[in-house]
Amino acid sequence: MTQGLSPRGRAANLARMRSEPFEVLVVGGGIVGAGIARDAAMRGLRAALVDRGDFASGTSGKTSRLVHGGLRYLKNFKIGLVRQAVRERDLLLERSPSLVKPLAFTIPAYEGRGMGRTTLRFGLWVYDFLSRDKVLPRRRWLRPGQVLDREPHLSGRGLGGGGLYHDALTNDARLVLAVVRSAADAGALVANHAEVTELLRDAGRVSGARVRDRVTEDAFDLRSSVVVNATGVWLDRLRAGRASGGTIRSTKGIHIFLPRKKVGNREAVVLNAKRDGRMLFVLPWGALTLVGTTDTDFGGDPDHVVPDAEDVAYLLEAVNDAFPDARVAPADVVSAYAGLRPLIQEGHAVRESDISREHEIFEDDDGLISIAGGKLTTHRAMAQEAVDRVCRRLGRELPCRTAAAPVGPREEGVDELRALGLEESVARILASRHPVEDVRPWIGQPSAEDRILPELPYLWIEVSMAVESEMATTLEDVMVRRLGLFYEAWDQGLAVTAKVAERMGSHLGWDAARQEREVQEYRRLVAEHRSFRG
Ligand SMILES: Cc1cc2nc3c(=O)[nH]c(=O)nc-3n(C[C@H](O)[C@H](O)[C@H](O)COP(=O)(O)OP(=O)(O)OC[C@H]3O[C@@H](n4cnc5c(N)ncnc54)[C@H](O)[C@@H]3O)c2cc1C
């Protein structure tokens, strides 16, 4: 068990952040910040990581959940970006097999819509070519009948064939948590719900940060030789003289979960939206289908981003067009979520979906290093580049060690959990989320193997594990990012919130009033995310 991720571990980490000097402080516990903290700690640097909310509570927990090269970027000739993403995808498939799974995609080619057969065939060839390690099966071209054999519910009108290719699927928030855990295992001190409220400067140079613990409301100064700003769409708030923006152009993307039985997809399908031809994904997620995403400029409050009715209608229209028997309506949406892409500002002339997805690192006059852009998939390479800069600043030559190191639980865990008497579906889920050493102590305890909801393979002990070994600090942390009931349960888990809060309370010392407050906060979150229903 990683002691640093228990409630006691969190308090101890914050106490050490207050008293010890660091070589690097990473602000922001999304995938990029977590990756930087991991890389820095694995090189032997004294590293601290803080996030003002939960880990993955920003963009990194609201993605399409794909670990992919980004086939569509080939259209814009972003060969370098795709090559890097394909290689990072292959590394993740090899080093994180319990978290990152191969997935077959059918991409139908319709007359007069999308890329067209010749371009698509060429694009798929390039995509395969860019994969050096060839860890995934090669592409194939399918005749119309073969497309419909694979995906019988797809529309056959104007179908001229299709491509079959492979990418990978992950649980984005769980991937971030695994990277955070790996950082902590390597010696980084980590804390969620700890906000940097301002940077400290000595003689005009950044020398640390003022940190506020949002659980206790204590504030303290953390001293660090280098500070890395990995706060995604909030990047400009910490950069001197840029509080009103300038670096980031945020675009909003939403996703919806629908019952898979209604949509009818067997595996992953790539669509071109009827309205504007944008590429959309229809992805299998257990009994559900994940559909996304949109891409629209966002000028609102980044702390409150929710799907609106128009976004949802756009995705439903695309699904109904591609799968004519689906006839899905807003009432079929199990859950919906929205995230903001922290894209690098390029001037307003560019269409949202044409803005580059490449990352950039900025070094300001006061010494602050900021990093943004990129993808969930490319986080390791981004982190390597950022930590190379940190090392240069520190005058240290330390090689990067992340490329060969695994992230996430061992795959064999599933056999060990089966041997402990857990049923197959439960063992699989648990093994993909937790190291067996974390699960073992809870097995055999009263109600250990009881499911939280009969239709989902998640057990009550996972609530305890979330608190004791994954730093879950609020009810939302458990419902949204540790268990995912927010996304997958028909009522978004509302019926069990009181019991989950009670169980968390038994670990965290919450009284009845605190439990009730947590439940009300969660209800508010769910209501906000259902406002698209009108
Ligand atoms: C709709 C959508 C779909 C996507 N799909 C994919 C996909 O399928 N595959 C893929 O590879 N990429 C995908 N991406 C891109 C990818 O999600 C992002 O590039 C990546 O998650 C950005 O990570 P980040 O760490 O930079 O930002 P974030 O995850 O937003 O992390 C920044 C963190 O900083 C914290 N923070 C902010 N201010 C402070 C402060 N003052 N003190 C402490 N902490 C602070 C925030 O709480 C937040 O957790 C998608 C993006 C979107 C929006």
Provide the pLDDT for residue 76.
72
Residues 6+ apart with CB under 8 A from 326: 153, 258, 262, 263, 264, 319, 320
- The confidence score (pLDDT) of residue 192 equals 98
Both tokens assigned to 446: 């009263």
Antiparallel, parallel or unpaired: β 100-110 and 369-372: unpaired
pLDDT, one tens digit per residue, over 485-520 is 999 999 999 999 999 999 999 999 999 999 999 999
* Spatial separation of the C-alpha atoms in residues 193 and 211, rounded to whole Å: 10
Residue 486: strand pairing partners: none
Instruction: Tell how far the Cα of 55 is from the centroid of ligand 1, in angstroms.
Output: 10
The structure's pTM equals 0.97
> What is residue 86's predicted lDDT score, i.e. its pLDDT?
95
Å from CA of 30 to ligand 1 middle:
5
Name residues of the chain where pLDDT drops below 50.
none
Ligand 1 pocket mutation pick from 27, 60, 99, 167 by most atoms within 8 angstroms of CB: 60
Ligand 1 atom closest to 32 (CA): 25
- Pick the atom of ligand 1 nearest to 51's CA: 44
Cα–ligand 1 centroid distance for 424 (angstroms): 33
Residue nearest atom 4 in ligand 1 by C-alpha distance? 63
> Quick one: pLDDT at residue 78?
77
CA of 372 to the centre of ligand 1 (A): 9
Within 216-313, strands assigned E span 219-229, 248-259, 268-272, 279-285, 288-292, 296-297
Mutate to test the pocket of ligand 1, among 82, 376, 382 (most ligand atoms within 8 A of CB): 376
What count of Cα atoms within 13 Å lies in the side-chain half-sphere of residue 251? 20
Instruction: Provide φ and ψ at 107, rounded to 5°.
Output: -120, 100
Distance CA 534, CA 530 (A): 8
What's residue 373's pLDDT?
92
pLDDT at 116: 79
Return all residues near 26 (Cβ < 8 A) that are at least 6 apart. 33, 36, 37, 40, 47, 48, 49, 50, 228, 230
Query: Is the torsion defined by CA of 12, 18, 23, 24 positive or negative?
Result: positive
Ligand 1 site, CB within 6 A: 27-33, 50-53, 57-60, 62-66, 195-196, 230-232, 234, 253, 293, 339-342, 372, 374-377
Question: In angstroms, what is the span from residue 285 Cα to ligand 1's centroid?
Answer: 21
CA 273, distance to chain mean position in Å, is: 24
pLDDT score of 2 = 62
The tokens describing 248, both together, are 């980031």
Q: How far is CA 80 from the centre of its chain?
A: 23
The Cα 304–Cα 531 span in angstroms is 12
Of ligand 1's listed atoms, the one at least distance from the Cα of 254 is 1
The whole-number pLDDT of residue 104 equals 97
Q: What is the whole-number distance in angstroms between the Cα of residue 60 and the centre of ligand 1?
A: 4
Ligand 1 centre from 514 Cα, in Å? 29
Residue entry with tokens 């400029």:
297
Atom of ligand 1 lying closest to residue 371 CA: 26
